[in-house]
Amino acid sequence: MLEAQRSPGSRSMHLKSIEIQGFKSFADKTRIEVKPGITGIIGPNGCGKSNIMDAIRWCIGEMSWKSLRSDSMVSVIFAGTERRNAVGLAEVTLTFDNARNLLPVPYSEIQVSRRIFRSGESEYYYNKTQCRLRDIRELFLDTGIGNSGYAIIGQGDVDFILRSKPEDRRALFEEAAGVSKYNVKREEAIRKMEHVEVDLGRLQDSVALIDEQIKKLDSDARKAKLYQKYKAELASMEAGQILGEVRKLDADLKTQEEQAGPLRERMTAMISVVDADDARLAALHLEKAAQDAAVLASNQKVAALQSEIRMLDERVRNANDSAARVLKNLEDSREQLEAERGRAAAMDPEIGGARQAHAEAAAALEQCRREEEEFRAELNRLIEERDAAHESAKAIRQKARSVSETLQGTSREESAAQSRQDKLGYELERNRKETETLETKLQDRRDELGRLEGAAGEQRSRLDRACQTVAELETRRTDLSGQHAGTGDAIVAMRAEAAALKARIEAVESQGGQDPYWVGAHAVTDAGIPGIAGTVRSLLRVHDEHRVFVEDALGDRLYAVVCDDVAAARAGIEFLKCCGRGRVRFLVSSALPEGPLSSAELPSGARNLLEAVSFDPAHERVVRHLLAETFMLDGGLYGRCWVCGGAREGESLQMQLSDIGELRGRLERFHGRLEAEQRRKAELEEAIRAADRSLAEARGRRETESAAFHRLDGELQNKREGLKLDEGLRTSILVETERLASDITALQEQRSGLGRRLEELRGQEAALQGEADAAQARGALIHDGVQRKLGEETHFKQVLQDRGERERIMKDRRDRLVADKAGIEASALKRQDQQGAWERDLKEYAGVVADSNRQLEGLHRGLAGGEGELRVLVEKQQSLQKDSEDLEAKLKQSRHDADALREDLKNAELRLSELKNRRHYLCGRLWTEWQLSYEEAALRYQEQPVDEERLQFLRRRIEALGNINMAAPEEYEDFVKRRDNLQAQIDDLNQARQDLHSVIAKINAATRENFRQTYTEVREHFRRLYGILFEGGEGDVVLTDPENLLETGVEIVAQPPGKRLQSISQLSGGEKTLTAIALLFAFFMVKPSPMCMLDEADAALDDANIDRFVAMLREFTDKTQFLIVSHSKKTMEACDAIYGITMEESGVSQILSVDFRKKSGTEAAVDGVVETLIGAAPDLALAPGAAGEAAPAEDAPR
């Protein structure tokens, strides 16, 4: 490490160390200690310098694999080399010193780690605690070192600021202004706003759907209640019906079981007989199978003997054929052996001549090589003398170039001073003109600001009126919704009451149908018989409070029929006889006494019952006859010889039956009122829809007015900020004018000293040039001698090549002849061995033929004995077959008898099974349909009478109801509660939307103010730094839309000295680099970043510009830590520490450090080390006598 003695300054934060393992070319765990100041990283191309920069960017949250120069994010993991395997993960850890709490966390030291696996999974750690990527990014927000910051310049990206669009360039100003966190909050608020809008629409759709469900469930709930009533009555009747059928089935089961018993006994006896015959037949089959096996074994034995005889015959024939073939091959081989021995003897003289020619060619080649070595030694001596002369001339010229460069630098400084002086004069005049222009512009802005403030006030009034209209319409909408809800509740209540009334009428009709007098009275009154006035109840109109007294007084006479005369009564009776059902009591009005009935005096407080009823005067005689002698007193009813009273238990059956007409009238009136309420509900729904449309239009007008107001307010804010910006600019121009006048005086003094220095340097340059020319002449004479020797070298090479080629040809011919003779001799030996083998094969074939003939004689004798034994076994097999067939015929007849008996038993058991299944089915119906076991049904409904007509009536009524939603009442209540809950959520979301609008407005205001202030400061510093780096010229940053500070882009204007360019794209590479550096350091002057990384940022700069670049770096080291990758020696001279990167092992980067703190640290020593590190081969090493000592980074002094 190269480390100078510099004060670290008052830094708020700095990077302490970098740990890399498995990232790109850093396969092994590598730790780099980083100190405050400037740290340089050098090394040959491709050794992995930029990988350190990529590791830092990746660790603090870079997610673009293209920015990391990779094919994918997983590609950053070390992929292996020829000598190393790939690793499974990559990990980078950065340690920061946060003693002054620049980062908003309560730790003096912060450790950030990132890890990625080959599966693509990533992990992030903050102080060794796992966290999210978002936490890491927010940690470095507004520090300048985030992935979108201005303090990280990647390889080849130094001019990215100039290449960016104005809108993208704005992000750098926002980072310097510290408004990145505001942008994040604004984007988060906008996302929440979008989510609120989506949720609001979803909830409104849900409310509409729930309203539809409530409408549907209203009728379903009423049907469910009626269904439950019918179902309970049907359950009792069907249970009684099923119990009666089950009792009948039990009697049938007992009878059928008595018939099946004898059949089972006969079947058992028959099965025993069949089983005994089966056993005997099985024994015969076993004996027959054993005999079959013996016959088969004898047949196999005879066949085996015959097969073996055939095989031995074939073996004898094959042995005779093979012996004949071997004998023929033996004779042919003997003839070929004699011919090969003759060819081998004839090759010996030719081989001797080839050996002699090869020895002569080898001797000539050795003589030529000795002559070539002597010539080469003389040539090398001349080359060394020439190189020494050239090195001497090179050293002198190097000194001359150094003086010339110094001369050129001084000359450039003098020219730059002159240009700077001219430029400052031009800028001074320009500033005076800009001041005058700004005064006029400021007055125009003040006038425009006053106009906008008046327009904003008028727009605010329109917005307030629109908001008031919306509030009034919302109140109207709420009132209509309340009325609609009340009407809906009333409709539900009326429907429930109508359903109860209808059920009551049906129940009364059902019960009245069992009373013959009620049936008869209604049949007669409905028949239209002349003289029939109607029932007694139909003649009376009674208040509810007196109904019980009328019932007590009349009893069964309530539905007696009133007629004019006896003839009408007889006609009614005949009518009922014809109908075949019903009876009737007639009250003949003509038979009643004329005139008023005498009545006794009533007790005190009593009231005649006639006063409690009303009637048609035509029927007064009938009513007086029935009620004249009854009166009410103290809750009781009194007659001539009877008294009624007591607790009221509800309406009696007689009263209900007599009121059936009134009940039907009430039901019709209910239906009329229900239709009226439904029409009112429909009218209210239409009114609500109209109110919704009006409310939507009003809200739209309110949003339009609000948008117009916010637009005017934003325009007003922009105008105010523009005015403030111009006022600040005018102040900065005045300050700049004073500074320019001071700088012009200083430049005049500087130019005088530079002129004297130029004269001295020109004299030194002329003297060194003469020495270099003399050294060059000496080298030219020696070079001529070397060229002559090089011409003779070509002749030596040609002679040596010809003699070597002849020696090789002679050697090849000798070796080829020797090899041919050896091949012939080997072939002869092989043929001799083959002949011996064939002679042995002939003897073996003769032995095989003799042995096979002896075996054939024994096999023929065994074949004759086996055939006799086989005939005896076949005769016994045929006898057993006949016995088996006889027994099978007998068994077949027994099985036929058993099958007939089994069929009879099966039919009997089938009938039993059907009866049991029917009984099981009926018991199952009890459980399936009514959830009753047989025992529970018998206990509860054993005596239940079953009326088939009523049963069918209930089934028809339930079937007519259709599908029933039994959960409808509960679902109806649940939906109402859900609708109320959703409406409350809608109200909450509307409030949240208003809150988010307010938050976004506040964020925008803070962003405008910070951006305006930062832009003004950066602009001022950029203009000054541009003049320093270019020694003149003009640089500026201009807003593309000054009226809209939230979205305006930033254009860069750059005019180097003496040029008038139309666009910054026309700048040269070095000019682009200097312009970008000027803007970068302008950001640092406004908001210094604690750390800055520059990867070959000086690659396009010449030495003079590098000097200015380095000088500017030194000015910022007190507040910023620099990490620089460079190939420039001048840049390295400015570093406080230097790390060298090498690849001692191909594909694997390693760190080397060089420590100069024990030395004087002179410039010459630095130049030597930098040149050694940059120009080294992949296996970087320092000579023992070098200015420093090489050591791995881990062992470097800290």
> What average pLDDT score do residues 293-304 get?
80
In contact, 503 and 229? CB cutoff 8 Å = yes
Task: Give percent above pLDDT 90 in the chain.
Answer: 2
Amino acid letter, residue 682: A
Q: Is pLDDT larger for residue 510 or for residue 1193?
A: 510
Q: Which range scores top for mean pLDDT: 268-282, 327-341, 1085-1099?
A: 1085-1099
Tell me what pLDDT residue 1094 has.
86
pLDDT at 12: 62
Task: Say if 274 falls within a structural domain.
Answer: no
Distance CA(657)–CA(559), nearest Å, equals 8
Per the prediction, the chain carries an average pLDDT of 76
Classify residue 351: in a domain, yes or no.
Answer: no
pLDDT digit string, tens, across residues 716-741 = 777 777 777 777 777 777 777 777 77
Q: What is the token pair recorded at 28?
A: 């092994």
pLDDT at 385 over 90: no
Out of 12-21, 34-43, 809-818, least confident range: 809-818
Residue 296: name the closest of 867, 872, 870 by CA. Answer: 870
pLDDT tens-digit map of 411-437? 777 777 777 777 777 777 777 777 777
- pLDDT (mean) for 1057-1085: 81
Residue range 544-570: mean pLDDT, rounded: 81
Measured between alpha carbons, how far is 391 from 397 in angstroms, rounded to an integer? 10
Q: Report, as an integer, the average pLDDT of 866-895.
A: 76
Phi and psi at 980, nearest 5°, equal -65, -40
User: Is residue 1178's pLDDT more than 70?
Assistant: no
DSSP state of 1123: E
> Looking at residues 475-482, what average pLDDT do you find?
82
Between 503 and 1054, the higher pLDDT residue: 1054
942-994 tens-digit pLDDT: 777 777 777 777 777 777 767 777 777 777 778 788 878 887 888 777 877 77
The band of 18, judged by pLDDT with boundaries at 50, 70 and 90, is: very high
Whose CA is closest to 417, among 749, 88, 116, 37? 749
pLDDT tens track for 20-76: 999 988 988 899 988 888 888 988 888 888 888 889 888 888 887 777 788 888 888
Residue 833 pLDDT more than 90? no
Question: Which residue range is the domain that position 1 belongs to?
Answer: 1-151+1091-1198
> What is the structure's pLDDT at 90?
93
Does residue 485 fall inside a structural domain? no
CB-based contacts of 16, cutoff 8 Å, min separation 6: 33, 34, 95, 96, 97, 109
CA angle 682, 688, 694 (to 5 degrees): 140
Q: Between the ranges 23-27, 67-71, 300-304, 750-754, where is the mean pLDDT highest?
A: 23-27
Q: How far apart are CA 830 and CA 337, in angstroms?
A: 10
Model-level pTM greater than 0.95? no
Q: What percent of the chain has pLDDT over 70?
A: 89
Is position 1178 within any domain? yes
Distance CA 135, CA 103 (A): 12
Rounded to the nearest 10 degrees, the angle between the axes of helix 968-1030 and helix 660-930 is 70
Residue the block writes with tokens 């029927």: 619
Which residues, at least 6 apart from 679, have a Cβ–Cβ distance to it below 8 Å? none
Nearest to 1088 by CA among 53, 145, 148: 145
pLDDT at 113: 93
Residue 1195 located in a structural domain: yes
Residue 1117 lies in a domain: yes
Across 148-152, 655-659, 719-723, 1008-1012, the highest mean pLDDT is recorded for 1008-1012
Render pLDDT for 151-208 as a digit per residue (tens, 0 to 9): 777 776 766 777 778 877 777 777 777 666 666 777 777 877 777 778 777 877 777 7
* Lowest-confidence segment of 108-122, 153-167, 459-473, 1098-1112 by average pLDDT: 153-167
Give the closest residue to 341 by CA, choosing from 832, 833, 835. 832
> Per-residue DSSP letters for 1086-1112?
HS--SEEEEESTTTT--HHHHHHHHHH
Beta strand ranges found along 1115-1183 (DSSP E): 1121-1125, 1137-1145, 1148-1154
Q: How far apart are CA 590 and CA 701, in angstroms?
A: 83
Higher per-residue pLDDT: 351 or 1019: 1019
CB 970 within 8 A of CB 224: no
pLDDT at 9 over 60: no
91-108 average pLDDT score: 84
Q: How many separate domains does the chain show?
A: 1
386-409 average pLDDT score:
76
CATH number of the domain residue 103 falls in: 3.40.50.300
Q: Is residue 637 part of a domain?
A: no
Residue 482 inside a domain? The answer is no
Q: Which of 549, 572, 729, 779 is nearest to 646 (CA)?
A: 549
| 1047-1074 mean pLDDT | 81
Q: How far apart are CA 608 and CA 621, in angstroms?
A: 16
Residue 875 has pLDDT above 60, yes or no: yes
Q: What pLDDT shows up at residue 278?
A: 77
Q: Are strands 109-117 and 38-42 parallel, antiparallel or unpaired?
A: unpaired
pLDDT of residue 595: 63
Which residues, including other chains, have CB under 8 Å from residue 939's CB and lie 6 or more apart?
Answer: none
